[in-house]
Structure 1
């Protein structure tokens, strides 16, 4: 059985004065080292899930509700230990900056955790270098571009060595090139440090990069599975007001036009390769 780093069981949460729960009896698992995307329209409960995972919100009181992170059940006694395991990169990196320079900002999380300076002088440059920002070590964060700011935000997370990185709409304010660069960095860091990644996103093409997709609607988990299973459910996704990845749309159109595309073709690169081979055989 796969190692489950996150286990959510029968969790509900209702905001004060709300008539209906933001999260309604939610249960799911996330495997260690996997990339999971959570999609859904605004108000579907995506960001609430993250705030529940790191203890910023407390589930409604029920006898069955449980949140477990890396084998530890989340409660008042374990919340700070669990927060050390989870790093969150938000949509607007300006909201995360507290230091006068890039180096100061990356060091902030380490200082809060009481990491000795002898270790910090090693960890901070390494984290900055990992995201390709060494030349900007002494720059003011406000002077950076949007993509550079997100790199610094990721460096600050990497420095504290979490087990889980959450991208909470982290690429929403970037252009396509900037988005691809950030996602590429996260994927490299995931492999190098054996991280588990959770991506909260409205970008369906970004969600298509994941190993697993959770589809939320009005606080409920509608369906979950591998991208190849979820994004072929075109009718369901459209009923929920969600889009379908461009690759899936192209593949479906080609199949409708009579092009014999085998089921094993499950990515844009594989589709391009298959079409090139098909054309060369003619």
Structure 2
């Protein structure tokens, strides 16, 4: 398949936390009275941020379910099993958007379209919090419930999880590569609209860990798409969908 680069679209906006967010950093040492589960922070500023890999991975997870292409072995869609008979269609939206771990001869759709930047704290929100002398994270204490007594288990002490608090705002920045694969870029533009609808699904799900316990509820605000010609498209709430259709890309006002 012949592939020709058309350009790049930029997706920009804000990620606002509606509940505490925990994206773990891991911990090499144990400290008495310390945090059991710290959040990932910038190594120089010690400010929490959302890694691009976490956001991209969660979007891929959600969209694989939406497109009904979750593998029974738990591997990512497109993972190379070593079976030479396995192949994927070049117009596969998951592999176009997020990339393919399959060998090139098993999928000929070209490079990964989506690039997700690390999301750092919005400077206005950060300066306001620091000016008021407030911390950038919170410690949430959790306990194990004794199923018989109905109270905190006596033998298992409380654990503390660090979270970025509700109300925090991060800068969202993604790049979407557009290619002409013999269709003038039509399929890639459809994939871009599906990706934006995926942000709506993420609002209904959770980002980071412990989403089933209330963590990681987010909303996307002030979304804009700057197309390959530099035109700015104000998306507003048009990316939100009531029903995700894996057969037809959603119509989003202002986008081709």
Q: TM-score under structure 1 normalisation? A: 0.27
Between 1 and 2, higher relative CO (CA 8 Å, sep ≥ 6) is seen in 2
Q: TM-score, normalised by structure 2?
A: 0.29
